[in-house]
Amino acid sequence: MVEPSAYLLLSAVLFGIGVVGVVARKNVLIILMSVELMLNGVNVAFVAAGSYLGDAAGGVFAFMVMTVAAAEAAVGLALLIALYRLKETIDVTELRILKW
């Protein structure tokens, strides 16, 4: 039996890597992947907590997040392709027309 705190540590590390990826990277593809990493970090925490507490709700939430993540990935990648066709770049520092 692994300590629950270890799962939570893994979850925090995954989430932290994701956050750094979202904030620091310029490539939209990498940012999307980092978002997936954050979501999965959270999933780890859900499943661990559910297992520890003997509550099925944690697993249910994890599946829920996966579903949403799949949809988000589909929409996100579609936008990415459209963006690339329009601007011929996927560098977020160059995509800054949406401002006042």
Partner 1 sequence: MVNGILDFLWLVPALPLLGVILNGALALFAERPLLLREAGLPLPGGHGGGHGTGHGSHGSSSHGTSAPSHAGHGESHHETPAYRRLVSFIAPGVIGAAFVVALLCVLSLAARPAEGRTFVQILFPWIQAGSFLAPVGFQLDPLSAVMALVVTGVGFLIHVYSVGYMSHEPAFARYFVYLNLFMFAMLTLVLANNYLLMFVGWEGVGLCSYLLIGYWYEKQSAADAGKKAFIVNRIGDFGFILAVFLIFWTFGTVSYTEVFAKVPLLSHSGVLTTGLATAITLLLFLGATGKSAQIPLYIWLPDAMEGPTPVSALIHAATMVTAGVYMVARSSALFLLAPETMMVVAVIGAATAIFSATIGICQTDIKRVLAYSTVSQLGYMFLACGVGAFTAGIFHLMTHAFFKALLFLGSGSVIHALSGEQDMRKMGGLRKYIPITFITMFVATLAIAGIPGLSGFFSKDEILWQSFSSPHGSPVLWVIAAVAAGITAFYMFRLVFLTFYGESRMDPDVEKHVHESPWTMTLPLSILAVLSLAGGWVGIPAVLGGSNPFEHWLAPVFHPVAAGAHGAEGAAHHPAALELGLMALSVAVALCGIGLAYFLYRVRTGKPEEIARKWPTLYDVVLHKYYVDEIYEWAVVRRVVNVSVWLWEMFDALFIDGIVNGVADLARAAGDRVRRLQGGVVGGYAFSLLAGAVLLVGYILYRSVVQ
Residue 96, SS3 per DSSP: coil
Which residues inside 10-29 make contact with partner 1, applying CB under 8 A?
A: 19, 22-24, 26
Q: At what angle do helices 28-53 and 4-24 cross, to 10 degrees?
A: 160
Q: Which is nearer to partner 1, 60 or 87 (CB)?
A: 87
Start-to-end C-alpha separation, the chain? 55
State yes or no: residue 86 binds partner 1 (CB under 8 A).
no
State yes or no: residue 2 binds partner 1 (CB under 8 A).
no
Q: Which is nearer to partner 1, 1 or 97 (CB)?
A: 97
CA distances from 62 to 37, 46, 48 (A): 13, 6, 10
State yes or no: residue 80 binds partner 1 (CB under 8 A).
no
Binding site for partner 1 (CB under 8 A): 19, 22-24, 26, 31, 92-93, 95-100
